[in-house]
Amino acid sequence: MTLFPPSACPRIVVKIGSALLIAADGGVRRDWLAEIVTDIAERTRAGQQVAIVSSGAIALGARRLGLVKGGRASLEDAQAAAAVGQIALSQIWAETLAAEGLIAAQMLVTLGDLEDRRRYLNAAATLDRLLGLGAVPVLNENDSVATEEIRFGDNDRLAARVAQAAGAKGVILLSDIDGLYDRNPALAGAVHIPLVERIDARIEAMADSGSASGMGSGGMISKIAAARIANAAGAQLAIANGRADRPLSADARHTIFLAEKGASARKAWLAGGLTARGTIHIDAGAVRALAGGASLLAAGALRVEGEFARGDLVVLAGPGGAPVARGLSEYDHADAARIVGQRRDALAGILGHSPRAALVHRSHMALL
């Protein structure tokens, strides 16, 4: 069965890991790349719009610069390798796509481009226009300027955020593994999980953080995080083995994470946010109220962590510390800390001005 065929999925995002694109010696696996571009061309001719999130820039640049550890010995090495490798990577994609009559478009993005609402909408508009014109956007994180504090860190989550921005209904993470197992697949008795209807603590416990190749930056933990983002945006996500011949058309084993239904675009963006500025801890009663569609009131809050301003993204954590929602705070951290646990009729006296209706309003909140 072909994953997310054109007849069922008008727009998809395909993420390609470094271990698939780059050989052990640092060169490009051109025969494999030509095969997957043949798959992409067949899908586009059938009416499907395809965006690619491609790793490989750091590995390519490291080879050209003679850097040790694949260019990942330090942040400075990774940034330099990315600057050199991104030119080579974009040229290779442009040439290979052109051989199939396709036009490549390059987009380098940072975490802020998809976390800031205005920049996110600009990126979404660009993606939509490129795909509508028949181009194949090739995206990567702009590693030459990203730092440890402000970066996606792996292209799995980037692919999910790109799918959200592009309005894609399918995400395929091509990797060196054929899906999720109930334990590390290197262990005896590991069982493959073909379908995940809901990501819960049991599913998360199956994740292994290692990357089998040692070349990429994303393991199963990052893939499950990506599935959460994609599913919240109404997109299904598949983890598939890219080492198969013609991996986008092969009938090979994989894991599909089913999409959620009903989330608005804005709430999906909130749920997929990675850079919350703080945490508001809430009591069990507030957790139940949020599940019923209520806003977070000060009376249901227990304490505040972090430094955030009004309008910043914050996490709402339940009594056990687990995140239950994300939303935009109606107060800065100082005022929020002053009013936690207080009833509405006491807020004006504490703050010295008329209080806002909620700490986090339901219109600016997404449950997790």
* Three-class DSSP labels, the chain: CCCCCCCCCCEEEEEECHHHHECCCCCECHHHHHHHHHHHHHHHHCCCEEEEEECCHHHHHHHHHCCHHHHCCCHHHHHHHHHHHHHHHHHHHHHHHHCCCCCEEEEEECHHHHHCHHHHHHHHHHHHHHHHCCCEEEEEECCCCCCCCCCCCCHHHHHHHHHHHHCCCEEEEEECCCCEECCCCCCCCCCEECEECCCCHHHHHCCCCCCCCCCCCCCHHHHHHHHHHHHHCCCEEEEEECCCCCCCCCCCCEEEECCCCCCCHHHHHHHCCCCCCEEEEECHHHHHHHHCCCCECHHHEEEEEECCCCCCEEEEECCCCCEEEEEEECCCHHHHHHHCCCCHHHHHHHHCCCCCCCCEEEEEEEEC
Instruction: Give the annotated binding-site residues for ATP.
Output: 15, 175-176, 217-223
Q: Which amino acid is at 301?
A: A
Under 8 Å between Cβ of 93 and 137: no
Binding site as annotated, residues for substrate: 55, 143, 155
Using CB atoms within 10 Å of the CB of residue 209, give its burial: 0 to 12 exposed, 13 to 18 middle, 19+ buried.
exposed
Query: Are residues 247 and 38 in contact, defined by beta-carbon separation less than 8 angstroms?
Result: no
Q: Are 114 and 123 in contact (CB under 8 A)?
A: yes
Known binding-site residues equal: 15, 55, 143, 155, 175-176, 217-223
